[in-house]
Structure 1
Amino acid sequence: MKTKKAFKMSLILILVTIVFLTGCSKKNNNVEPTASAVPSPTASASEPVATSFQLGSEPLNFSFYGNYDWWVTDEWGNDPTTKWIQENFKITVKPVQSGGTAQQKLNTMIVSNELPNVIMSEGADFEKLRAAGQLLPLDDYLDKYPNLMKYAGDKTLNLLRSEDGKLYGFPNWYTSSPNGNSGYLVNKKIYKELGAPKLETFTDLESYLKLVKEKYPDVIPFEADISAQGIFLFAAGKEEGYSTRYIDEKAVPRGDQLTSLFLDPTFNATIKEASKLFRQKLITQDTFTQKSDQVYEKIKNGRVAVFASGDAVNSNIKDGNNLLSEKDPDAGYMAIWPIHEDAVSKDKVFTNSYSTTGWNLVSITKGTENPEAIFAYLDWMTGAEGQATTSFGPKGRYWDELTAEGAPILNEKWNTTPQTEKDKEIMGKFNWAGNTTLTDVTKASIQAKLPEDKRDWSTTQQIDVIFKTSQDMTVFNNFKLAADSEAGIANAAVKAIFEEYVAKAVYAKNDAEVDAILKEANDAAMAQGYEAMLKAKTEAWQANIKKASGQ
């Protein structure tokens, strides 16, 4: 759920900290590798024209800022990948950190007119920068540097254009293939010891959690991760085709209009399901207040029976799984098909969503020296060689050649180096122009060639289950509401109302109280301009539908 604010943050979010996670996804984030159509690299497609900037021809220095509370950009040149880039392309990047307060940091930089050269952002913050004239259009570079046009294509780039028709952001983790990180995991050892009962419907889930509570009093039956994000996956199993993106946007499509989330029957059923389990103490009781490190501690100690999250296979969860399985081959976690109602077809349950336009945008700010050189670097990064280098290290380290499809052919050193050692090289963390389809095809190709005990756990869960439960929600993205507009102000207010009232509803004593609280939430949202927000998002949604159809 690359996305994914509550989800995307986990999308979706730390999604780029290792090579095998692709936004929100985020995050997003679901491919059948054989279904991906990745153009084969050709000399004419991969080599810049003579008048373009040649990487390495002169030094290139720029600052980079990731506009997220949780984002930390590591020091440049301290890992094998960026050291190689620094030595061969003469590129040096100065990290600018959010310090855990991204919104405040961005506002301070805008007011002081001290914006970094490159900013990774999305949504209202991106639009605020664009509307203020702080971002440079990238259109003039598209024909000179072919990779972005080649892999993203006109349709995706058109969806990313702003109202003036110009492109101000380089997409990150754009794709033509399903992807994501959201899903359900079960503790394999506990599941096996309890007889591996059927775990498909909400009735099955409740029975299983009660059994866990009875047999394993020190274990959390259902861990919903930080901000209770795991409970929102219930929505996908309550109605066929229902996307958690609706919860992200606080807007549900009914007919040709976006309607109130708080009054939506499926969302109502979702919260009632969560509240029922919470009242029985089957769900983490501090799920709305716990921190991510607390979740990780429970995971790595095997104290979770079922885990649901918008970022279920991130690096911390993978590390926890690996620690358990190293001690006991039967221990660890595995992804299961999403839980659903009896009347809902399992093949129409999508806990993940993906957008061909990707997770977020990387923009070059006004006044930056040599912006074309930065674009040239991003375009190289999003191509086959760049993706191989940023995801698997420089050529000659773990790979020596590329396949015709652009996937690196990994060498013996890759096969013999322990995954824990490779993880220390933070490969993938500096990939700011993620090409999800190309990366996922590479991952699948690599996994298929490895013995089971050497396969990456996260990638295995994605290929086996998670990527198969993702749907294309491209037209439900990029609702660029200016932060100071009526709709933008309402959007921020509604998010705050959502956080307050949903927690109250989950804590409710019965279903009637859930109904009353959600009605109160809707009334509070309407008083803050919810109707204007829904109207603006409906217009943006319908405009995206037209763009996607070529109108």
Structure 2
Amino acid sequence: MLRSSCNTIQSQKYRRICTMKAKKGIMAVSGSMFLLTGVLSGCGGSTPPPAANPAPGAGSSSTGAAAATAPAQPLALTWMRYEHPSQAIVANSKAVQEILKRKNVKLDLQSVPQSNYDDKKKTLIATNTLPDVMLVKQDDIQNFADSGTFLDLTPYLDKMPNLKKFIAQQPEINKNKIDGKLFGLPLVANWQGVGGQLPMIRVDVLDKLGLKKPTNYDELYQALKKMKEANPDSYPFAARAANGLTGTENLLNPIAFGFGSGYTTFNGTKVYYEPKEKQYKFGPSMPEFKAAVTWLRQLYKDKILDPDYATATSQTWQEKLNAGKSFYFQDNNGFANTFNLNLQKKDPNAKFDLLDTIASPSGAKRNLIYALGHLSESYVINAKVKNPEQVAQFMDWLYSPEGIELTNFGLKGDDFTGDNGNYKLTDAIVNKYKDKQPSPVYALQSEYGTGYLGLALASDDHVNLPWMTKEAIEWNTKAEKGLNAGENVQFVNDPPFTKDEREKLKQIRTQLDAYLTQNMDKFIITEGALNDWDNFVKQLKTKGADDLVKIYNDALARVK
């Protein structure tokens, strides 16, 4: 559902399957989000010993009549991930209940709000007090794999056929390996459409003002300025913090890339992958990046850009766009489907629509879109977990057709029909959730514990279809055409680094990130600050910008 969401390497077979289904007019509602409420209830696992607890799906090895009839103790796992404001995680959801019935695995969901998740996660890793299963990002694995905190899954892969199948279909997963070892269970896509940080604008407001759809960034500025003049209390351009990135990073990424440069990786490291050169580059040293910041500075000065862009949460961002307080965003375009549904309850003509790729002053025409799946996020298993082979086998089941169906749609027959990648929610489910807020999909998946924001390790976006508008289907088709034409460029995952490179990256990022964080907002907010840009770039070089780029490109060269 979210994606999501850059240049994922895919097998030809998988790409053909994905493309054929995407052409049916589906679109991923991507985004990174999750909630859980509760206090951490234990670390290192509370799993019973193997004799009392056979591997999921295996028969009991107990002897004696009494032992043969006694029910096996469930495999108990503490499971932690962040909770998105739009999709609360229900501790005893349908998926949790059904997993206990089918696999004799009892999941104890631990809850951390998305806004606090990174801090909580880092504390648990640093103190080696992890739950049994925990969601992390790729850079967490890069930074802490050597500590022995995470279970090395490599010895268990021969007993994980479903995961191995996805690795074969999506070889980009191999970038997640550390020194050839796999420590994380990636969030893959069983099926998704095409979407990402695309330019979305209220076309009904353009029509009221007699304005044409903007085709370049100067025309976009002029259109947003007219919207501001007609709606003085509004901030036409809204942005937010999301996917572990600050509001500033999430604002700059699509704009800087659209201008012909870039800012961060999906993990927030201050380099970006330049598709034209197939190399990593440092954005702030490029004139196109300064042009992008200068453009944003003008929007801020004219009170077009929401002044809360650096701190706005996903929830407050959605509230402004749902309420008609903002008219443009360059972010996960899938949200516009929900915005339109809500806006049209008051004004049937209200509508966000996807603009053609906006041309920059340098002549660049490109957008950032989400990679296949969410490979920059993975579940790790606590290295101290009891019965690691059992746990690995259970996690592998979640990648199986049965596991995918349960963790995306619920119960076959009751909640959905179909198989082999062709799924349809039942009419009863569609009607039950059609008016739910904040959206039918979020409401359904919250209650069921399903989807990318729930328990799915392999998400499937067919769940979106019943509530997709005609426009949303058109956006998917248009975004796919842009992908095929090279205008829409997928995020790429970081290459695997050596131990020495990982240590150097930690040192460089500590000083470089702090300096960029300190100064980037200043250039957007403060009059005259851009006059010091050249000195700013020089300081970045002394803090390791060139070394950072070299480490990334050296690592990339080893996987080409």
Q: Deviations over 1:52-108 (max 9, x none)?
A: 74179752211122379989983431x223222233322222233446544543454
The alpha-carbon distance between structure 1 residues 103 and 280, as it changes in their structure 2 partners (threshold 3 A), is: closer
Instruction: State the Cα distance separating 1:462 from its structure 2 match.
Output: 5.6
Match of 1:516 in 2: 532
> For 2:197, which of 178, 182, 195 is the aligned residue?
182
- Equivalent-residue separation in structure 2 for 1:197 and 1:33 (angstroms): 37
Instruction: State the Cα distance separating 1:257 from its structure 2 match.
Output: 6.3
Instruction: State the Cα distance separating 1:247 from its structure 2 match.
Output: 9.9
TM-score (norm 2): 0.75
- Equivalent-residue separation in structure 2 for 1:390 and 1:199 (angstroms): 41
- Pairing of 1:506-545 with structure 2 (within 5 A): 506-509=524-527, 513-514=529-530, 516-517=532-533, 519-545=534-560
- Is 1:328 the counterpart of 2:328? The answer is no
> For 1:361, which of 378, 382, 396 is the aligned residue?
378
- Equivalent-residue separation in structure 1 for 2:168 and 2:385 (angstroms): 27
Q: Which amino acid aligns with 1:158?
A: N
- Pairing of 1:64-79 with structure 2 (within 5 A): 64-66=79-81, 74-77=89-92, 79=93
Instruction: State the Cα distance separating 1:503 from its structure 2 match.
Output: 0.6
> For 1:35, which of 19, 25, 35 is the aligned residue?
19
- Is 1:251 the counterpart of 2:271? The answer is yes
> For 2:334, which of 313, 322, 330 is the aligned residue?
313
- Equivalent-residue separation in structure 2 for 1:481 and 1:420 (angstroms): 51
Number of residues of Structure 1 aligned to a counterpart in Structure 2: 489
- Equivalent-residue separation in structure 1 for 2:430 and 2:388 (angstroms): 39
Q: Secondary structure at the match of 1:134?
A: coil
- Equivalent-residue separation in structure 1 for 2:119 and 2:501 (angstroms): 14
- Is 1:288 the counterpart of 2:310? The answer is yes
Instruction: State the Cα distance separating 1:139 from its structure 2 match.
Output: 2.6
- Equivalent-residue separation in structure 2 for 1:26 and 1:319 (angstroms): 27
- Equivalent-residue separation in structure 1 for 2:86 and 2:511 (angstroms): 24
- Is 1:54 the counterpart of 2:57? The answer is yes
Q: Deviations over 1:256-310 (max 9, x none)?
A: 864433212221121111112222222123322444443233112111121223x
Q: Which amino acid aligns with 1:84?
A: E
> For 1:412, which of 413, 421, 427 is the aligned residue?
427
- Equivalent-residue separation in structure 1 for 2:86 and 2:231 (angstroms): 36
Instruction: State the Cα distance separating 1:481 from its structure 2 match.
Output: 7.6
- Is 1:126 the counterpart of 2:141? The answer is yes
Instruction: State the Cα distance separating 1:475 from its structure 2 match.
Output: 5.9
Instruction: State the Cα distance separating 1:118 from its structure 2 match.
Output: 1.1
The answer as to whether partners of 1:300 and 1:323 remain within 8 angstroms in 2 is: yes
Match of 2:175 in 1: 159
Q: Secondary structure at the match of 1:361?
A: strand
Match of 1:471 in 2: 489
Larger displacement relative to structure 2 (522-531 or 190-199): 522-531
Q: Deviations over 1:175-226 (max 9, x none)?
A: 7977443222212431332235132211220221122122222322222334
Larger displacement relative to structure 2 (259-268 or 458-467): 458-467
> For 2:96, which of 82, 91, 104 is the aligned residue?
82
- Equivalent-residue separation in structure 2 for 1:482 and 1:420 (angstroms): 53
Q: Secondary structure at the match of 1:153?
A: helix
The alpha-carbon distance between structure 1 residues 246 and 102, as it changes in their structure 2 partners (threshold 3 A), is: closer
Match of 1:500 in 2: 518
The alpha-carbon distance between structure 1 residues 194 and 33, as it changes in their structure 2 partners (threshold 3 A), is: farther
Q: Deviations over 1:384-407 (max 9, x none)?
A: 3322221222223221331xx423
- Equivalent-residue separation in structure 1 for 2:531 and 2:328 (angstroms): 27
Q: Secondary structure at the match of 1:382?
A: coil
Match of 2:2 in 1: 21
The alpha-carbon distance between structure 1 residues 256 and 208, as it changes in their structure 2 partners (threshold 3 A), is: closer
- Equivalent-residue separation in structure 2 for 1:247 and 1:128 (angstroms): 12
- For structure 2, which runs of at least 5 residues remain unmatched after alignment? 10-14, 23-53, 61-71, 242-246
- Equivalent-residue separation in structure 2 for 1:303 and 1:32 (angstroms): 41
Instruction: State the Cα distance separating 1:131 from its structure 2 match.
Output: 0.4
The alpha-carbon distance between structure 1 residues 147 and 381, as it changes in their structure 2 partners (threshold 3 A), is: same
The answer as to whether partners of 2:194 and 2:476 remain within 8 angstroms in 1 is: no
The alpha-carbon distance between structure 1 residues 88 and 196, as it changes in their structure 2 partners (threshold 3 A), is: farther
> For 2:224, which of 183, 189, 209 is the aligned residue?
209
- Equivalent-residue separation in structure 1 for 2:263 and 2:305 (angstroms): 22
- Equivalent-residue separation in structure 2 for 1:246 and 1:270 (angstroms): 19
The answer as to whether partners of 1:181 and 1:312 remain within 8 angstroms in 2 is: yes
- Equivalent-residue separation in structure 2 for 1:213 and 1:178 (angstroms): 34
- Equivalent-residue separation in structure 2 for 1:119 and 1:125 (angstroms): 11
Q: Which amino acid aligns with 1:497?
A: Y
- Pairing of 1:165-176 with structure 2 (within 5 A): 165-173=180-188
- Equivalent-residue separation in structure 1 for 2:147 and 2:86 (angstroms): 24
- Pairing of 1:140-159 with structure 2 (within 5 A): 140-153=155-168, 155-159=171-175
- Equivalent-residue separation in structure 2 for 1:501 and 1:373 (angstroms): 49
- Pairing of 1:417-456 with structure 2 (within 5 A): 417-421=432-436, 422=440, 423-425=442-444, 426=446, 427-428=450-451, 431-432=454-455, 434-435=457-458, 439-440=460-461, 442=462, 447=465, 454-455=467-468
Larger displacement relative to structure 2 (68-77 or 498-507): 68-77
Match of 1:487 in 2: 505
Instruction: State the Cα distance separating 1:490 from its structure 2 match.
Output: 1.5
Q: Deviations over 1:446-475 (max 9, x none)?
A: 73xx5xxx4268964762445545434546
- Equivalent-residue separation in structure 2 for 1:143 and 1:21 (angstroms): 30
Q: Which amino acid aligns with 1:189?
A: D
The answer as to whether partners of 1:187 and 1:334 remain within 8 angstroms in 2 is: yes
Larger displacement relative to structure 2 (534-543 or 418-427): 418-427
Match of 2:107 in 1: 93
The answer as to whether partners of 1:236 and 1:244 remain within 8 angstroms in 2 is: no
- Equivalent-residue separation in structure 2 for 1:24 and 1:300 (angstroms): 22
- Equivalent-residue separation in structure 1 for 2:197 and 2:378 (angstroms): 21
Match of 1:270 in 2: 292
Structure 1 vs Structure 2 CA RMSD: 3.9
- Is 1:300 the counterpart of 2:322? The answer is yes
Larger displacement relative to structure 2 (194-203 or 94-103): 94-103
Larger displacement relative to structure 2 (186-195 or 423-432): 423-432
> For 2:404, which of 363, 369, 387 is the aligned residue?
387
The answer as to whether partners of 2:81 and 2:134 remain within 8 angstroms in 1 is: yes
- Equivalent-residue separation in structure 2 for 1:22 and 1:463 (angstroms): 13
The alpha-carbon distance between structure 1 residues 263 and 429, as it changes in their structure 2 partners (threshold 3 A), is: closer
TM-score (norm 1): 0.76
Q: Secondary structure at the match of 1:120?
A: strand
The answer as to whether partners of 2:80 and 2:134 remain within 8 angstroms in 1 is: yes
